[in-house]
Chain A
Amino acid sequence: MKKSHQPPRWARAFLAWYCKPELYEDLVGDLTEYFERNVHSRGLRYARFTFVIDTLKFFRPYTIRKPSFVQLLIHRIMLGSYVKTSARNIVRNKLFSTINVAGLAVSMCVGLILIGLLSDLLKYDRFHQNYDRTYRIISDRGDDNPYASTSMKAALDIRESVAGIEKVGILKRSFSGDFTKEETTVPLEGFWADSEALSVFTFPFIAGDPATALKDPFSIVLTETAAKKLFGNADPIGKVISYKSQSRRYPGPFELTVTGVMHDVPKFSHLRFEMLGSLSSLWKIHPDDKSLTHWDSMWDTYVYFVVPPGANLETLQYNLDEISKAENPHVTTGSIHLSFQPLGSIALGEDLNNSAGPVMGMSDVWMIGVLALIVLLSACFNYTNLSIARALNRAREVGVRKVTGATKGQVVGQFVVESIFIATLSVVVAFGLFVLVKPYFLGIDRHLSEMLTISFSFQLALSFILFAMITGIAAGIVPAFFFSRLNAATVLKNTHSVQPFRNVNLRKTLIVIQYTVSVIFIASTLIGLRQYKHLLSFDLGYKTKDIFNIRLQGNKADIVAKELAALPEVKGISKSTIVTSIGNYWGSKIKYTPDDSTWANYNGIDENYLAMHEHHLISGRNFSVQTDESAETEVIVNMDVLKRFKIADGDPFAAIDEILLVDGKEMKIIGVVENFHYGKVDSKSELVMFRHVKGTPNWLNVHIESSNWQETAVRLERAWRKVDNVHPFDGQFYDDQIRESYNEFSAMLTVIGTLSFLAICISSLGLFGMVVSSTESRLKEVSVRKVMGAGEWRLVYLMSKGFLTLLAIAVLIGLPLTYIFFDQVALPELVNPAPISVLDLFIGIAFLLAVALAMIGSQTLKVARANPAEVLRSE
């Protein structure tokens, strides 16, 4: 009988797996006989089909193998043996074990931090009872750049017209200021909230009733800490405190009654506040302010709602669409589209504008995650490479195991256990590193320490152990299969028949991948660094050097200015509403022709501001000195405003004295300034106006020339103390503020830079291990060559040639890839990108190669210098 027609192998394997061994031979024989018969009579396809069906049919109670207790026992006993051999191996090969454990530990430390970060972020807001059913309304102005905030009007509309929503809670920002109780004055920050907000969220109360606490106007709920600050240990319920707002139009003071005290807001809450005031107070505080419920005042109100279990979210979205459709025609500032997001995706999710509290962008987390995974894989590659390269040493052991009856599966098991063992060892080291590194990680950015604690917990420990297991399996699976395939007979006959270099392509590929990744990492870091420097040194269009900005915190500007002006270092003082170029925006609606209006950004300034900041006034004049009472009639605009409305065809000289409607008031253009960066450098330049700051500006800009900054800082603070004893002095140099506004960027850069450093270290370690093992195995060859007269450098070249080729390939793949990616994809996305510096890239690559060459060179030279007589004699 020809062997050409075989029953399906996997079916036979399946049978062998489940069938009792004593029944198996007979059974498979019968089935094969039928199979052969069927091939003859009905054809191969039918025969194979029936064979498969029959193997399934034979899966019966009497054929199934019982799990044998002895087998389990053997596994248990062998496990001990595996661990013992692993430990011996680790001790015997100190160099390789160190390389493996070091690489794995460092990369696993990154993994641990990431696990800690994720587990923290996933804990956010879970303490609310309706966590799964709570959503937040978000608004989109049609530019794919949604806002976390929405209008109060939207909330009222939803309450009125959308069925199937249990509760709608409204929170509004801008509730901050000084709170006074008898002698004590404390600055606090929080939200205006309506009564339902406290049933949407379940912040635990200490005293008072959440259902009624925010019902009446002028009620306030304090957190424990805020209550302690104001009342000490006295019972605050029912007491009256006085609230002085920083708002210019409605400064107060107002009398608020404490109706509740709640526990401090938990760390893992996306809403952070010190107190909540009843929203109904707003109608009493500004009875004449209609903009409260305008559809387009969507900048500082947050609306949350709870749906009943199993609610249909599509209908809900449809209802929201209907509301947008009905409301949009009433406004002229562009349409607003409402949608919603679950509570669970606020803290860890899309990075929205106007976010209510700290958030972590999902894309950032993904990016760091992928990079960390790459570093981890690189360490796993090291393990795989080194294990196989050392196959010679282990082959005999595997042979003996197989001869004494170890199955393939058991050999695989042994090597996987070994790699898990090493991974567990590494995770212990990694945990030590993790504890050391954690404070530095949280310190990278204020944002991180604000959001995360990464405190250790039982769950975290469990996930760490699981992580170690998975890493161990990932690292060990390839060598395990390599060893399990060794043939016992040939291995025992002649150890050199094991050709570890048969898998040489796999290992070469792994090295190339590692180095390509390193090249990409280092090149990206350098490009990012160049970008960061570019942002900081960018010419904003005005001067920021030596300007020190002080937050006034509600104090009268003139009083503070008078104190400061007395200091000799102070060369000039100006006032402003905001500090520009660090990501602050204040907007007004402007109109030139009757039916065309738009939002323009503005800064309120005084008559000294333009000169001190060296803004370039193209035409017209600066503001004149004005008192608080004088009506606002003048405005200075930038070139973009002229262009946007085609005022005087963009001619700055002809545009002077044109009338612009700003927030409904007629104002005369008295000057035109050159465009400058009002927003951050990485955003486009926009329509900008300067208006005269009246009442209380928020900032004093102080021009300081000082040779001893320490002393000046003390004097500035002393001057501040004379005016204000409640608020701590809050001032910073303009350039520092700008640097801080790119903190996110620099934090990201720090993370990526660190990861690339680790990737380079790990691949260098791996390369070192490979060079050591390959030169060692060629020791005899090298000695013979030397005896025959080969020179040392010739030998070094011979041994490093292979590795140099791999490095060259990695550079040739990685460098163009990175260049093209940044040049074509990433940088064009940015508004003001810095060009890629080729020199930077070459320095980076040179560094990488220098490290690699040092590794290769030192080892090959050592071997090339070995005394051939000794090597050959010991053979």
Chain B
Amino acid sequence: MKGTNLGEFEELVLLTMAALASDAYSVAICDELEKRTGRAVKLGVVHAVLHRLEDKGLAKSKLGEATSVRGGKRKRYYTVTGGGKAALLKAREIRDGLWKAIPGLVPKGI
């Protein structure tokens, strides 16, 4: 069990979810990720990750209202849970700590 540790892609998905706030459903997350990272993001992969995040308790979901698009099928909206936020913060801390620990990498011009 990986516990609450985040993989790189999981972190990206979770961040996007947070950024999109109330509009975070699978296709929107996909699109947003594509736009931000510039790499092709497969729906299948995102789905699997969303499922895993929900399993780990980092995200939760609920079905929205039916609309005329998508063949009348409802969207599943995701929100970041408290645990999710904590995991994001922790990941960022680890990163910042590591950045600071690098001696030669302080930008010269500063």
Contact = CB atoms under 8 A, between A and B. Distances in A.
21 contacts: A25-B63, A25-B73, A26-B26, A26-B75, A27-B47, A28-B71, A29-B70, A29-B71, A29-B73, A30-B27, A31-B43, A32-B70, A32-B73, A33-B27, A33-B70, A34-B27, A36-B69, A54-B44, A57-B44, A58-B44, A60-B48
Interface of A: 1, 7, 25-34, 36, 54, 57-58, 60, 62
B75 A54 contact: no
B74 A29 contact: yes
A1 B72 CA distance: 11
Given A34-B27, A62-B48, A62-B51, A29 B43 contact: no
Interface of B: 26-27, 43-44, 47-48, 51, 63, 68-71, 73-76
Contacts of A31: 43
Contacts of B47: 27, 30, 58
Contact of B69 (A7, A27, A33, A60): A33
Considering residues B51, B63, B71, B73, which has the most beta carbons from chain A within 10 angstroms of its beta carbon? B71
A28 B44 contact: no
Nearest to B68: A1
A689 B12 CA distance: 106
Nearest to A60: B48
B44 A25 contact: no
A36 B71 CA distance: 9
B73 A28 contact: yes
A34 B47 CA distance: 14
Nearest to A58: B44
A62 B47 CA distance: 10
Contacts of A54: 43-44
A28 B27 CA distance: 12
Nearest to A25: B73
A737 B62 CA distance: 92
Nearest to A62: B51
Contact of B73 (A1, A26, A62): A26
A30 B74 contact: no
Given A26-B63, A26-B75, A30-B47, 4 more contacts: A30-B27, A30-B70, A36-B70, A62-B48
A36 B48 CA distance: 22
A224 to B, nearest CB: 74
A3 to B, nearest CB: 9
Contact of A30 (B26, B51, B63, B68): B26
A34 to B, nearest CB: 7
Nearest to A29: B73
A529 to B, nearest CB: 68
A32 B66 CA distance: 13
Contacts of A25: 63, 73-74
A81 B68 CA distance: 42
Contacts of A30: 26-27, 43, 47, 70
B4 to A, nearest CB: 19
Most buried by A among B47, B48, B70: B70
Contacts of B27: 30, 33-34
* 7 smallest beta-carbon distances between A and B, as pairs: A29-B73, A26-B76, A32-B71, A29-B70, A33-B70, A57-B44, A32-B70
A33 B63 CA distance: 16
Nearest to B26: A30
A262 to B, nearest CB: 71
A33 B75 CA distance: 10
A30 B69 CA distance: 10
Contacts of B48: 60, 62
A62 B27 CA distance: 19
A39 to B, nearest CB: 12
Nearest to A35: B71
B55 to A, nearest CB: 9
A19 to B, nearest CB: 11
A343 to B, nearest CB: 58
A407 to B, nearest CB: 21
A58 B44 CA distance: 6
A62 B53 CA distance: 13
Contacts of B76: 26
Most chain B C-beta atoms within 10 Å of own C-beta, residue among A1, A29, A32, A57: A29
A58 B26 CA distance: 14
Contacts of A26: 26, 63, 73-76
Contacts of A34: 27, 43
A108 B85 CA distance: 72
Which of A26, A27, A58 has the most chain B CB within a 10 Å cutoff?
A: A26
